Structure 1
Amino acid sequence: MVRLKQRSDLSAINIVNALLAAFLFFSPWLIGFKDVEPAFWNAWVCGPLIGILAITAFNALYEWEEWANAALGIWTLVAPWVLGFSHVTGAMWTHLGVGLAIAVLAAVELWLMRHDHSANFT
């Protein structure tokens, strides 16, 4: 299993992931879609999962964590259409934005893990 010793640019990405996770978790109240059950529950499940992955990555970064984050980001991105709440503008745009950001950040971390030869692997 590939593990990367923590670097400041990867720490910054994980901080952003943790903030996005918190925003997703609280978005039903902040954006106003707490009465839309599929959107509410998706935010309440995906937000903490993304947050847990971001927090665990502060200790040691593993490739599987980034693949899991990418999958959660993609799921969050497509959830409005799969779960049928794309007609709720606030919920749809929140999930779309957070999901896209999480997926892109996971892809950046995966790229850095595979292409940064100056990093120390253990």
Structure 2
Amino acid sequence: MLPDSKEMKMTNDVPNKGLEWTNLILGATLACAAFMFPGLPAAAWNAGIVGVLIVTWSAVALYRYATWTEWSNLTLGCWALVAPFLLGFGSAPTPMWTHVLIGASVATIAAIQLMASRKAPAPSSSS
């Protein structure tokens, strides 16, 4: 079954561009933080990959907003939050706190954007 067309429809109406830019910056920060963890390859790779993906989906949302971009960032933020403990670098304070704080922030912002997009009126299709 195909998803609801309303769910997949892309618009230019980002609920809050400032929050989207914040997620983009947080993703870039996480990606750059990968270079701070040379002795912990799991932390470095995870920070780099997850950070780039957050930047990508935030940039897509800024260009053509769709709720799937926020769901992607919500998932990535939650992953960054738990990754230190699942990938085994939870005992290293700097990479652990970097992932936890940025992950929690990204997930929270994505959830706020999703709630705001549900409350926003649907764009009219009349010309």
Length-normalised TM-score, structure 2: 0.85
Q: 1:84 aligns with which of 80, 88, 94?
A: 88
Q: 1:5 aligns with which of 12, 33, 39?
A: 12
Q: Tell me, in whole angstroms, the C-alpha distance in 2 between the residues paired with 1:121 and 1:60.
A: 17
Further displaced range: 68-77 or 20-29: 20-29
Contact 1:17 1:51 in 2 (8 A): yes
RMSD: 1.6
Q: Tell me, in whole angstroms, the C-alpha distance in 1 between the residues paired with 2:102 and 2:44.
A: 14
1:116 Cα shift? 2.4
- Unpaired runs of 5+ residues, structure 2, are 1-7
Contact 1:5 1:121 in 2 (8 A): no
Contact 1:4 1:113 in 2 (8 A): no
Identity of aligned residues (%): 33
Which has the higher relative contact order, 1 or 2, with Cα contacts under 8 A spaced 6 or more apart?
Answer: 1
1:11 Cα shift? 1.1
Contact 1:2 1:121 in 2 (8 A): no
Q: Tell me, in whole angstroms, the C-alpha distance in 2 between the residues paired with 1:25 and 1:62.
A: 23
Q: Tell me, in whole angstroms, the C-alpha distance in 2 between the residues paired with 1:72 and 1:40.
A: 15
Contact 1:6 1:59 in 2 (8 A): no
SS class of match (1:3): coil
Question: Paired residues, what number?
Answer: 118
Q: Tell me, in whole angstroms, the C-alpha distance in 2 between the residues paired with 1:2 and 1:114.
A: 13
Q: Tell me, in whole angstroms, the C-alpha distance in 1 between the residues paired with 2:85 and 2:61.
A: 30
| Matching of residue 15 in structure 1 with residue 15 in structure 2 | no
**Deviations 1:60-99 (CA, angstroms, capped at 9, x unpaired):** 1101111111000000000000001000000000000000
Length-normalised TM-score, structure 1: 0.88
Q: Tell me, in whole angstroms, the C-alpha distance in 2 between the residues paired with 1:21 and 1:101.
A: 10
